[in-house]
Amino acid sequence: MATTPNLPTPDFTYDPTLPGACIAGVRPYRNGSYRLDSETIGSKFIVHNYGHGGAGITLSWGCAGKVHDIVKGFLVGTQDTKVAVLGAGVMGLTAATRMLDLGLAVTIYSDRKPLETTSSKAGGQWAVSVVEYSGKERELTDIIKTAYTTFKASIGQGFGVSERPNYTATSSHNLDIVIQLAPGLIPPRKSLARLPFEGHTQPGFVYQTLLIEPPIFLARLEADLRARGAVFVNRKFTGKSDILASVTENILINCTGLGSMTLFSDTKMQPIKGQLAMLPPQAALKYLYGQNGYMFPRADHVVIGGTFEVGVNNETPDPTVCQGLVDHIASQFGKAPVKPLPDIHIHHPDHAPIVNPDIPVA
C-alpha cells in the first residue's frame, strides 16, 4: 500500500524572550451565551454585541448582520442618522461596516486602536470555539452561515482570509457544532489512517477550514471604514452613566467585549486568558495542525497556542508558558521530548466546552 508523503515539518527554533515572540490576550467569555440584543435607556437605543469567548473573529460578520437587522428595524420609527459604535475590536469594526451599509454616519469610540485590541491577538482560525449559545441554536445557525459565507467570499480580496487544511488528532468539537447546526456548509471531514507528518504514526482527521489573519483583517476593516467616512474617537468610558452622558448619538452599538463586565455590570462575563507563541513565518507550511494545542501558519508568524486560564484577566505573557507550547507541538513531530501542554492549560470544571480537550481550540 502506498504511504502518504509527509507534509513539511515546522522549524521549531524559538526564543520566547524576543520582543513580540510571546503574547497574551483575554477572551471575553460569557456564561450561558454571548449577548446580542437591544435595550432602550431614556433616549438611547443600545444594541449589545459582546461575549464571544474564543470565537469572536469567527462569528463577527454573522453578528454584524444581526446588528444590522436590529438597527434597520429601529430606524423605521425614527429620524436618527447617526450611530455610535463602542469598541474597535472585530465586533465593533464589522458592526460599523454594516452600519455604513445602512447609510448611517458612524463614529467608533474606543480606548484602544484596532491593532491593540484582544481581536488583534487572536490566532485566527474560523472555529466556533469556547462560546456558549444556550437556547440560541437558530440564531447561531444564521450567524455561522453568514459569517462563513462572508469570509469565504473575501478570500483573495486583501482581508487576510485563506482556506487551509486542518490536521487534527481527534475529531473536533468546534467542527461538530458547525456540522450539527449548518449541515453541508463546510466541506466534510475525512478520516486518515495516519497524520502525514514526521514523527506521526497515529490516525487522525483532516478538514478544510478558513484562516483569518487578524492583523491583516482588522487593518483592512479600519482602512475601509475610514475611506467610507467613519470617524474613530479615542475615548475611555468609566461606566454606563458616563456612556449615556457623553455619547451624543442616540443609537449605540456596544462592542466593548470584556469591557462590558464593568461598563454594563455584566456578571456573566468571565475572562479567559490565552497565550500565544509567535514563531517566524514559514512559507512552506500551508496547513493548520491541532493536537491538544494548535499551530496556524500566518503571513506574519507561525502561531502556536492552546492555553486557557479561566478567571485570569491580565495580558502579561509568560515566556515559560510560550516555550512550553512550542515544546508540546514540537514533541508531536519528534523534535522535542514528549511533554504535555504547560500546567497552565487549565480546564475549568464549570465549562463543558472547555473541559473537552478540543482540537483545535482557539
Ligand X SMILES: Cc1cc2nc3c(=O)[nH]c(=O)nc-3n(C[C@H](O)[C@H](O)[C@H](O)COP(=O)(O)OP(=O)(O)OC[C@H]3O[C@@H](n4cnc5c(N)ncnc54)[C@H](O)[C@@H]3O)c2cc1C
Name the pairing type of β-strands 204-212 and 190-192.
antiparallel
Beta-carbon count within 10 A of 132 CB = 20
> Which listed range, 30-38, 48-56, 137-145, 200-208, lies at the site for ligand X (CB under 6 A)?
48-56
Cβ atoms of 253 and 85 closer than 8 Å? yes
DSSP string computed for 5-25:
PPPPPP-----TTSTTSEEEE
Cβ atoms of 337 and 250 closer than 8 Å? no
Asked whether position 122 contacts ligand X by CB under 6 A, the answer is: yes
What whole-number distance in Å separates Cα of residue 163 and Cα of residue 184? 16
Asked whether position 161 contacts ligand X by CB under 6 A, the answer is: no
Beta-carbon count within 10 A of 34 CB = 26
Annotate 145-170 with b (16+ C-beta within 10 A) or e (fewer).
Answer: bbbbebbeebeeeebbbbebbbbbbb
Asked whether position 232 contacts ligand X by CB under 6 A, the answer is: no
Asked whether position 254 contacts ligand X by CB under 6 A, the answer is: no
Asked whether position 160 contacts ligand X by CB under 6 A, the answer is: no
> Which listed range, 84-92, 152-160, 279-287, 325-333, lies at the site for ligand X (CB under 6 A)?
84-92
Which residue in 83, 84, 90, 195 binds ligand X (CB under 6 A)?
Answer: 90
Which residue in 57, 144, 175, 321 binds ligand X (CB under 6 A)?
Answer: 57
Name the pairing type of β-strands 251-254 and 302-305.
unpaired
Asked whether position 97 contacts ligand X by CB under 6 A, the answer is: no
Output the nine-digit C-alpha cell for 208. 478544510
Does the bond joining 360 to the residue before it have cis omega, within 30 degrees of 0?
yes
Q: With respect to ligand X, which residue has the nearer C-beta, 143 or 276?
A: 276
Residue 335 to residues 137, 325, 342, Cα–Cα distance (Å): 42, 13, 17
Q: How far is the CB of 194 from ligand X (least distance, A)?
A: 26
Q: How far is the CB of 212 from ligand X (least distance, A)?
A: 7
Q: With respect to ligand X, which residue has the nearer C-beta, 23 or 251?
A: 23
Q: With respect to ligand X, which residue has the nearer C-beta, 121 or 351?
A: 121
Query: Total binding residues for ligand X by CB under 6 A?
Result: 43
> Which listed range, 32-40, 121-129, 166-174, 195-203, lies at the site for ligand X (CB under 6 A)?
121-129
Name the pairing type of β-strands 294-297 and 190-192.
unpaired
Which residue in 123, 290, 293, 297 binds ligand X (CB under 6 A)?
Answer: 123
Which residue in 72, 236, 286, 339 binds ligand X (CB under 6 A)?
Answer: 236
Which residue in 133, 159, 197, 237 binds ligand X (CB under 6 A)?
Answer: 237
Residues ≥6 apart with Cβ < 8 Å to 199: 9, 332, 333, 334, 335
Q: How far apart are the first and last CA of the chain?
A: 36
Q: With respect to ligand X, which residue has the nearer C-beta, 251 or 325?
A: 325
Q: Which residues bind ligand X (CB under 6 A)?
A: 25-28, 50, 52-58, 87-92, 110-112, 117-119, 121-125, 127, 235-237, 255-259, 263, 274, 276, 305, 362
